[in-house]
Amino acid sequence: MEIYKNRRMLTGAALLCTFALTLSVLPVHATDSIESLESQTSALENELAGINQDILDLSNQISDTEMQIEILNSSIDKTQDDLLDAEEKENKQYEDMKTRIKYMYENGNASLLEMLFSAKNMTDFLNKADFIENLSDYDRQALTQLQDIHQEIADQKEDLENQQASMQSLSEQLKSKQTELQAKAVATSTDLDTVNAKLKKAKEEEAARLAEEAR
């Protein structure tokens, strides 16, 4: 009989210890859960702030790139006008040269000889001879010079168009990256809302538990 009483006392004591241990552990678990959720909240807030800053930086880069594209567009338009002007001058010089050559051949040597023998003296004669000789040289040189200018402007336009294509490609890449970051920001914001909801619930449950214990 004495042994049975001792066993009941030991069993009761063990149950009391277990209950006391359980009560002492529960607040620790609740506190750990709240701290963990608060840590997650802080991490997500920092991540979201970083993403938003990256989006802002990309927006600035996109604005700068779009501005550069506009400047290049204006430069290309001006270069196109210069190119058309150079083509007109080149064509005019070519037509003038053809007209002079045609005139010289149609009038034959008589016209040239007439010019030469109309000279008043030897100096005048030599000057007229030099003029006739240099006339075709001048035409060729003028035409070559205009052709060089034309090619230079065409090369400049091609370079500007290449820059424009590069800037356009960069702008598209930046916009694509911005879209990715915006989607990531939405997902992170959703995660943050979820964790905040869990944290709010955990705090409410902890407050209710403490209130119950205080009764």
- What does the pLDDT look like over 18-37, one tens digit per residue? 434 444 444 445 555 889 99
Domains defined for the chain, CATH in brackets:
2-214 (1.10.287.950)
**Is the pLDDT confidence value at 154 over 70?**
yes
Sort residue 108 into left (φ over 0), alpha (ψ -120 to 50) or beta: left
Non-local (6+) Cβ contacts of 93 within 8 A are 139, 142, 143, 146
Predicted TM-score (pTM) of this structure: 0.62
Q: What is the mean pLDDT of residues 158-170?
A: 94
**Amino acid occupying residue 18:** T
Task: Note the pLDDT tens digit of each residue in 115-139.
Answer: 655 666 656 655 655 666 666 677 7
The dihedral sign for the CA sequence 122, 127, 132, 133: positive
Q: What is the pLDDT of residue 11?
A: 45
Contact 147, 86 (CB under 8 A): no
| C-alpha closest to that of 38 among 200, 189, 184 | 200
Interatomic CA distance for residues 41 and 53, integer angstroms? 18
Contact 57, 204 (CB under 8 A): no
Interatomic CA distance for residues 135 and 127, integer angstroms? 12
pLDDT band at 144 (very low <50, low <70, confident <90, very high): confident
Distance of CA 166 to the CA centre of its chain: 9
Q: What is the pLDDT of residue 198?
A: 92
Q: What is the pLDDT of residue 126?
A: 58
